[in-house]
Amino acid sequence: MAATIEFFFDFGSPTAYMAYTQLPSIAERTGASLVYRPVLLGGVFKATGNASPATVSAKGAYMGRDLARSAAKLGVDYAPNPHFPVNTLAIMRGAIAAQHEGEFQPYLNAMYRAMWTEGRNMQEFEEIAAVLGTIGLDPARYGTLVQEQVIKDELKANTEEAVSRGVFGAPTMFVGSEMFFGHDRLAWVEELAGAGDIPPTWTA
């Protein structure tokens, strides 16, 4: 039976962006289904006591260099966002709304492009509206959707589920019950998704 890869993400994480660029091809190569699970990273941090590496000077400096290396190695477009860290509540609710509306893939691509190649300030509603307009989505409609209680509740539920399953940051991927954190674990995600079972060498 084909594996399922669950991708817990927040647009505000540059390492989740790196994972986003690679997971579709991993799913294609392994025959796995790729399921996108929007979460609010700030909520994950609050629940787990974790924090962004950017809050620690040395970690932030290292992360900047490492992201540039990752982008070069993976061959993907990437530019540091000058507004980082960004409050992503509105655009993460928008991701849930886009899933409900059947418009998720163009929404996903546009938001990641705006955040991590164009350097837009995606906590500003004017910027969000402009990006939505580039893919033919009505900003007013999305402004209404993200205020609907069902959308708010689903993002909260995704975040709570993630924490209950051991998630402490993004990107986090699950293949079955096995959890992998970070874009530097994608090779392991691919190995397990392709194997369809936990390799014997991974057992405790």
Tally of domains in the chain:
1
Check residue 196 and give its pLDDT.
58
pTM: 0.94
Check residue 103 and give its pLDDT.
98
| Cα–Cα distances in angstroms (integers) from residue 108 to residues 20, 38, 146, 200, 201, in the given order | 9, 10, 15, 36, 36
The model's pLDDT over 76-85, given as tens digits with 9 standing for 90+, comes to: 999 999 999 9
Low-confidence stretches of the chain (pLDDT beneath 70) = 196-204
Check residue 1 and give its pLDDT.
72
Check residue 204 and give its pLDDT.
41
- Domain of residue 53 covers 4-202
| DSSP result, 7-39 | EEE-TT-HHHHHHHHHHHHHHHHHT-EEEEEE-
Residue written as token pair 């990006």: 131
In CATH, what number is assigned to the domain containing residue 128? Answer: 3.40.30.10
